[in-house]
A and B are shown apart, each in its own frame.
Chain A
Amino acid sequence: MKIELRNNKDFWAGIMLIGIGAASIFFARGYPFGTTIRMGPGYFPSMLGGILVLFGIYVVVMGLRRGEKIQSHCSLRALIVLPLSVVAFGVLMNHAGFIPALAVLVFGSASAGREFKFVEVLLLTVILTGLSVAVFISGLGLPYPLIKGF
């Protein structure tokens, strides 16, 4: 009998938990462990990491026994485009200023959706950017330059 793993929900959940647990044990090895009476900074994370690995193994076993599939699907477009526009916002805030950062964020986010109407999104970008400048910069007085000189 061949067990389908690619889509096995609990198998991957368990692997993720084991991964996080193992990573925290690994990195916590660099911190003094201490004793139970005087716990060092490595004690608690190592303990949690161990617990997490145990949970992970249990969840993997459950996954293999139940074989439940991942139900909800995820739009690859949204998964890539949305975080990317967020990152672009961060980069542009440092190097280009508030207005370009926001414009890219709004335009980028909007294009993560299924429906994309160019004129509508352009209008939305202009309106949201304008509103944000009015609310956050003029209204709340956040100290960000609107556009940075090159």
Chain B
Amino acid sequence: MELFNHLIFGFSVALSLQNLLYCLIGVLVGTLIGVLPGIGPMATIAMLLPLTFNVPAVPAMIMLAGIYYGAMYGGSTTSILVNLPGETAAVVTCIDGYQMARQGRAGAALAIAAIGSFFAGTVCTLLIALFGPPLAEFALKFSSAEYFSLMLMGLVAAAVLAHGDMAKSLAMVVVGLLLGIVGADVNSGVKRFSFGFYELADGIGVVTIAVGVFAVGEIISNLSDPEERRVFTSKVTNLFPTKEDLKRSFGPIVRGTGVGAFFGVLPGTTPAIASFSSYMVEKKLAKEPSRFGHGAIEGVAGPESANNADAQCKFIPMLTLGIPASGTMALMLGALMIYGIAPGPQVMTEKPDLFWGLIASMWIGNVMLVVLNLPLIGMWVSLLKVPYRLLFPAIMVFSAIGIYSVNNSSFDIYLMAIFGILGIVWRMLDCSPVPMMLGFVLGPMVEENLRRALQVSRGDLSVFVTRPISLGFIVATVLILIVMAAPTVRKRWGAAAAG
């Protein structure tokens, strides 16, 4: 019954007028950027983060979360209607969703995508409520040795499971860790890598890096590719799926939710991997696999549920352990720190309104998305007609004002320009900036826990393998490395991750 008390408390927080309003803003902005290709949730959250600094932590986090899962909904809309995935996770939905639209069944596809996402969202809300408390309680017993090993596992897994070259991703984690420790060292007060700039004494802002790499870098990258946007809009006539549709979709939605939840708690997997896996599962299980690719509703129901489940379950390790499982979660973690909340298992006990309010708001946000988005589809699609050449200067304006307002300093603006250039260089060299982001956010904590663990053990490195829980994380880390380094696994995974 404790579960229900927690959830009721959460809803009492989330249903306040202010929190509802921020949730609504979040899901609307999320859908908008989900619809628009060329701007992702990561850049948007980074851009809007500075503007939420004078808002209390709870509504701010509710809004940022809304942007994140709202983008998943928005991405599916454009995949189905115009064969244009607004987000990478929605690539799979294009396959059968667009075929359905061409057969005049866009309405059914959209409705099933919404129902599937909603089901997945509901299940994941329950999952977080169910598994969050025991997980956090377990983690409260961790000492610095366990924390170090846990973070090591999270970072290694995130790097090797992500799409791209394993060695380079791991190296980018290290680059991130190095960027993370810029500024005054907590123990000695020595200003590291600040090169005499007093602005660097407090370290590099998480927002500055994120906006630089993911907004400015992304824009440079988009401007380098020839514009290939073509909008063909199919009319949405009948929104209601038939009984047959619902019957066919039930299994895929349930299985997709399971697949998504599984990948969700794994660090480094993207919603794209979850939706692709779900698609493969459905195709394998189907009685007539040949229907796939020609407008099979199962091919929409499964992946759409999976990517939403993945997106929401990513909150489990972030909220209960303080481990970011994706770039967006790293940014959310950074946001928590900016609000003066130390991430980790104590968040649940020290900030119950934040934890339970956020969880309840995700369910409310999912309701809003279903209720609001279906009628607004026409508007979202018409937004696609806004050409990118008008869109990106607006993104630049938001980014620059946002970054400047953090410290009222031009120094951050110059850093943003530098990270924009680094962002495009890294992209060209296929060095994924996402592992860098995870390393950056965890950098100071990794160092602090390593330091403390070795201080307690009097410099004995075996402390990481003699404590059973820590040993478990180390073994898991090694296993992940071995399995993923195997060439056949690597190849298959690469294909899946690339969608």
Comparing B297-305, B327-335, B346-354, B428-436, the segment that makes contact with chain A is B428-436
Contact call A24/B178, Cβ cutoff below 8 A? yes
- Bound together, the chains give a CA A87 to CA B221 distance in angstroms of 19
Contacting B at CB under 8 A, from A122-142, are: 124, 128, 132, 136, 140, 142
B414–A87 CB distance below 8 A: yes
Q: A9-B429, A112-B223 are in contact. Are A37 and B390 (CB under 8 A)?
A: no
A118 touches B (CB below 8 Å)? no
Cβ of B134 within 8 Å of any chain A Cβ, yes or no, is: no
A residues in contact with B410, CB < 8 Å: 90-91, 93-94
Closest chain A CB from B480 CB (angstroms): 17
Complex interface residues of chain B between 208 and 225 (CB less than 8 A to chain A): 216, 219-221, 223-225
Residues of A within 8 A of B459 (CB): 35-37
Q: Which of B175, B223, B430, B450 contacts A113 (CB 8 A)?
A: B223
Assess A74 versus B424: contact at CB under 8 Å? Given A40-B188, A83-B417: yes
Partner of B393, one of A48, A70, A71, A124: A124
Q: Identify which of B171, B216, B401, B405 contacts A82 (C-beta below 8 A).
A: B216
From A32, A52, A113, B389 is in contact (CB under 8 Å) with: A113
Query: Which of chain B's residues 161-188 have a Cβ closer than 8 Å to chain A?
Result: 165, 167-168, 170-171, 174-175, 177-178, 181, 185, 187-188
Least Cβ distance of B287 to chain A in Å? 40
B292 within 8 A of A: no
- Contact code string A7-30 (vs B, CB < 8 Å = 1, else 0): 001101100110011001001100
Could you say which residues of chain B place their CB within 8 Å of the CB of A32? 188, 190
Q: A38 at the A/B interface (Cβ < 8 Å)?
A: yes
Given contacts A74-B220, A90-B410, contact A9 B430 (CB under 8 A): yes
Chain B residues numbered 377-397 whose CB sits less than 8 Å from any CB in chain A: 388-390, 392-394, 396-397
- Interface residues of A, dominant DSSP: helix
Which of A44, A77, A115, A140 is the one whose CB lies under 8 Å from B450?
Answer: A44
Given the known A-B contacts A9-B430, A37-B454, A75-B224, are A45 and B401 also in contact in the complex, defined by CB atoms under 8 Å?
no
Taken residue by residue from 390 to 422, chain B's Cβ proximity to chain A (1 for < 8 Å, 0 otherwise) reads as 101110110011001100101101101110110
Judging by beta carbons under 8 Å apart, are A83 and B188 in contact? no
Contact B188 A36 (CB under 8 A): no
| A55 to chain B: closest residue by CB | B171
Q: How far is A78 from B177 in the complex, measured between Cα atoms in Å?
A: 29
Known: A13-B168, A20-B175, A41-B187. A132 touches B417 (CB 8 A): no
Q: Which of A36, A48, A85 has the most CB of B within 10 A?
A: A48
Q: How far, in whole Å, are A94 and B409 apart by their CA atoms in the complex? A: 8
- Are B190 and A31 in contact (CB-based, < 8 A)? yes
- Smallest beta-carbon distance B160→chain A, Å: 13
Question: For the side of the interface on A, what is the size category?
Answer: 35 or more
Which residues of chain A come closer than 8 Å to B390, judged between CB atoms?
A: 120, 124
* Residue in B171, B396, B408 whose CB lies within 8 Å of A109: B396
Q: Choose from B178, B394, B417, B429 the contact partner of A45 (Cβ within 8 Å).
A: B178
Interface check B141, CB cutoff 8 A: no
* Nearest-Cβ distance from residue B251 to partner chain A, whole angstroms: 39
Tell me if B235 is interfacial: C-beta within 8 Å of chain A: no
A94 to B412, CA, bound (A): 13
Per-residue CB contact flags for chain A residues 50-90 toward chain B (1 = under 8 Å, else 0) read 01100110110010000000111111011100111111011
Q: Given A55-B171, A86-B216, A90-B410, is A48 in contact with B396 using a C-beta cutoff of 8 Å?
A: no
Most chain B C-beta atoms within 10 Å of own C-beta, residue among A41, A58, A142: A41
Tell me whether B458 is interfacial, beta carbon within 8 Å: yes
B458 to A85, Cβ gap below 8 A?
no
> Are A39 and B454 interface neighbours, CB within 8 A?
yes
Q: Which residues of B contact A31 (CB under 8 A)?
A: 185, 188, 190, 192
| B288 at the binding interface (Cβ < 8 Å) | no
B372 CB to closest chain A CB, in angstroms? 23
Return A114 CB to nearest CB of chain B, in Å: 7
Are B178 and A41 interface neighbours, CB within 8 A? Answer: no
* Interface residue A110 (Cβ < 8 Å from any Cβ of B): yes
> Which A residues lie within 8 Å of B388 (CB)?
113
Please tell me if the beta carbons of B185 and A41 are within 8 angstroms of each other in the complex. Answer: yes
B225, closest chain A residue (CB): A72
Query: Is B294 an interface residue when CB atoms closer than 8 A count as contact?
Result: no
The answer on a CB contact under 8 Å between B413 and A89 is yes
Q: Are A110 and B393 in contact (CB under 8 A)?
A: yes
Cα–Cα distance between A85 and B461 once the two chains are bound (Å): 50
Residues in B with CB closer than 8 Å to A94 are 410
Contact (Cβ within 8 A) A73 B224 = yes
**In the complex, what's the smallest C-beta–C-beta distance from B71 to chain A, in angstroms?**
22
From the candidates B175, B401, B428, name the one contacting A136 in the complex (CB within 8 A): B401
Contact indicator B167/A58 (Cβ below 8 Å)? yes
24 contacts between A and B (CB under 8 A): A10-B429, A16-B425, A20-B178, A37-B458, A41-B190, A45-B181, A45-B193, A58-B167, A62-B167, A70-B428, A70-B429, A72-B224, A75-B223, A78-B223, A82-B396, A86-B216, A89-B400, A89-B413, A90-B404, A90-B413, A106-B397, A113-B388, A114-B223, A128-B393
Q: Could you list 19 further interchain pairs (A-B, Cβ under 8 angstroms) beyond the known A13-B430, A82-B223?
A: A16-B429, A17-B175, A31-B188, A36-B461, A41-B188, A52-B174, A59-B165, A70-B428, A72-B225, A74-B224, A79-B220, A83-B417, A86-B396, A89-B404, A90-B413, A93-B404, A105-B396, A113-B388, A143-B408
